[in-house]
Structure 1
Amino acid sequence: MTFQEDQSRLREGHAATNFSLVRRAALSLLKNDHTKKLGVKNKRLNAAWDDEYLLQVLFNS
């Protein structure tokens, strides 16, 4: 449970489906990144803290 989906309050309209797709895409990008030997949770935190790493994950995949 990397993104704490159980605590999400997105239940109206298509919001839950849309965010599910975004979450899966983000998780896929983080799993496919092999530049740092970290778990997905730590990669997510690192991408939040370090803009250079975030750009690397987004555009080098």
Structure 2
Amino acid sequence: MIQDHYRMVNGKTSEELVYFISSLPPKVRQLARHVRNHWRIENQLHWSLDVSFAEDTSRIRKGDGAANAAIFRRLALSLVKRDQSEKRSLRAKRLKASWRFETLLSYLTGITA
């Protein structure tokens, strides 16, 4: 399957041609939908990590530090996303958990006070 991507940034257009290999039957629209859904989920995760944890600006470079920090960021993100007790941004929830032990405990246990 071949997919053509266009995007415009600051008035400048770029084009990318992407190839996908699959053992699924060649139902192009169905495959395209699956590919778009995969990248939508992937982009949401990375966007959330960057906005909530400034992951792109991390200066951890030595040994396994970057991989270990990424694991803990994803764990923290999943805990914060799981909480539905109040309407706040993920970043605001993360900051609140760092300021209040009770909030952190509720995120970790899933029990709201």
Fold in common (TM above 0.5): yes
Which structure has the highest strand share of the two? Answer: 2
| Residue correspondences, number | 61
Greater helix percent: which structure?
1
Q: Match for residue 25 of structure 1?
A: 75
Structure with higher RCO (Cα < 8 A, 6+ apart): 1
Moved over 4 A (4+): none
- RMSD of Structure 2 on Structure 1 (CA): 1.3
**What is the match of residue 59 of structure 2?**
9
The structure with the largest alpha-carbon Rg is 2
Return the offset for 1:20: 0.4
Q: Deviation at 1:40?
A: 0.3
TM-score by length of 1: 0.88
Give TM-score scaled by structure 2 length: 0.51
Q: Which runs of 5+ in 1 are unaligned?
A: none
Query: Shift of residue 39 of structure 1?
Result: 1.2
| Gapped regions of structure 2 (runs ≥ 5) | 1-49
